[in-house]
């Protein structure tokens, strides 16, 4: 590898004739706005997701001193690592590895607005930031489909990654070649509300509560509701209440987050299309919440627009 602005990539799988390409990293910095996301949306377990207009803002550059340093402002400040173990850096390293290059050091400034460990896709935003910033610094050789594949591999499931990268309402799946996704337009009148608690949740614990198998009737029920939800979100919001019914995951997880389950039930009793946001503990309401509705406790309600277009990368400025 050359100096901090260059790297060499060889064609190691092309047989005895090697082709060496010198790659110059982009000068200066790049900034990405990576949106919060809500996955599952009730029946669409591990497949459906929605991007929300609350963004983490991450700026990255190749460090001239060859060292990696991370500054975190906002959510997670003082808690998240400030070195190579930071999730954004790990995602950048994975992406650089895919491209066959590695800068010696990286500088990052993370302005975090997405609540951590609340079921709003904070880890997917970090991974998306890392993948897109590495791609930008290396000259933008990856397509958005490539970014979905790489980010989905890092995250392990693409339901949050897809809306973060593509924006709007997304359907994601995994095949032999990795994660894939499509984005669909959302009906203009849909403006979700997210109820965020003070307590945190762990996706691993929520997944551990799920059974290894489910009844065939429940699987068929959810398949129908997931298809209906696609129709409701893209043009028939009057069907959102019925379309957000679920039998695959929320009931099994209720004992581990009783306050979340109670709020979902309270909202649905009021006629609101409410679901657990991702693995929880936040709650997502896809239809309007009645005026004067009181969630009580430590819940904070945020009404957010749907974030269209996906993660946005632009030329930035090195802080300092």
Dihedral class, residue 203 (left if φ above 0, else alpha if ψ from -120 to 50, else beta):
alpha
Does 121 appear as a known binding residue?
Answer: yes
Does 116 appear as a known binding residue?
Answer: yes
Does 250 appear as a known binding residue?
Answer: no
Does 282 appear as a known binding residue?
Answer: no
Does 204 appear as a known binding residue?
Answer: no
Does 115 appear as a known binding residue?
Answer: yes
Contacts of 284 (CB under 8 A, 6+ apart): 38, 41, 50, 192, 193, 194, 195, 274, 275, 276, 277
Does 24 appear as a known binding residue?
Answer: no
Does 163 appear as a known binding residue?
Answer: no
DSSP-based three-state secondary structure for 172: strand
Q: Are 7 and 19 in contact (CB under 8 A)?
A: no
Helix or strand holding residue 87 (H, E)? helix 87-99
Q: Are 196 and 300 in contact (CB under 8 A)?
A: yes
Tokens representing 266?
């309270």
Residue keyed to tokens 């996301």: 37
Closest alpha carbon to 135 in 180, 158, 155, 165: 165
Does 120 appear as a known binding residue?
Answer: yes
Tokens representing 164?
């973060």
Bridge partners for 71 per DSSP:
109
Annotated binding site for ATP, which residues? 115-125
Annotated binding site, which residues? 115-125
């Amino acid at each position: 590898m050359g100096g901090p602005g260059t790297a060499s990539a060889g064609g190691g799988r092309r047989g005895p004739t090697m082709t060496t390409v010198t790659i110059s990293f982009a000068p200066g910095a790049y900034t990405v706005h990576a949106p919060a996301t809500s996955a599952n949306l009730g029946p669409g377990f591990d497949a459906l997701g929605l991007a929300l207009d609350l963004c983490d803002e991450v700026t990255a550059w190749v460090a001239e001193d060859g060292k990696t340093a991370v500054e975190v402002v906002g959510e997670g400040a003082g808690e998240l690592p400030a070195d190579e173990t930071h999730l954004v850096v790990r995602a950048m390293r994975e992406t650089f590895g895919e491209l066959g290059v590695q800068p010696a050091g990286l500088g990052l400034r993370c302005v975090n607005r997405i609540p951590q460990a609340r079921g709003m896709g904070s880890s997917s935003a970090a991974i998306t930031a890392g993948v897109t910033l590495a791609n930008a610094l290396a000259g933008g050789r990856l397509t958005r489909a490539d970014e979905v594949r790489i980010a989905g591999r890092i995250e392990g499931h693409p339901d949050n990654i897809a809306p973060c990268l593509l924006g709007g309402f997304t359907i994601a799946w995994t095949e032999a070649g990795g994660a894939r996704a499509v984005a669909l337009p959302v009906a203009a009148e849909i403006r979700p509300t997210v109820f965020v608690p003070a307590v945190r949740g762990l996706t691993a614990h929520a997944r551990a509560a799920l059974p290894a198998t489910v009844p065939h009737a429940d699987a068929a029920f959810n398949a129908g509701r997931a298809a209906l939800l696609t129709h409701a979100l893209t043009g028939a919001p009057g069907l959102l209440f019925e379309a957000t019914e679920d039998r695959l995951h929320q009931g099994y997880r209720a004992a581990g987050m009783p306050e979340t389950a109670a709020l979902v039930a309270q909202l649905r009793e009021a006629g609101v299309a409410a679901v657990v946001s991702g693995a929880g503990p936040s709650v997502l309401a896809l239809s309007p919440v009645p005026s004067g509705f009181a969630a009580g406790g430590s819940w904070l309600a945020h009404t957010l627009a749907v974030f269209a277009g996906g993660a946005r990368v632009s030329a930035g400025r090195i802080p300092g």
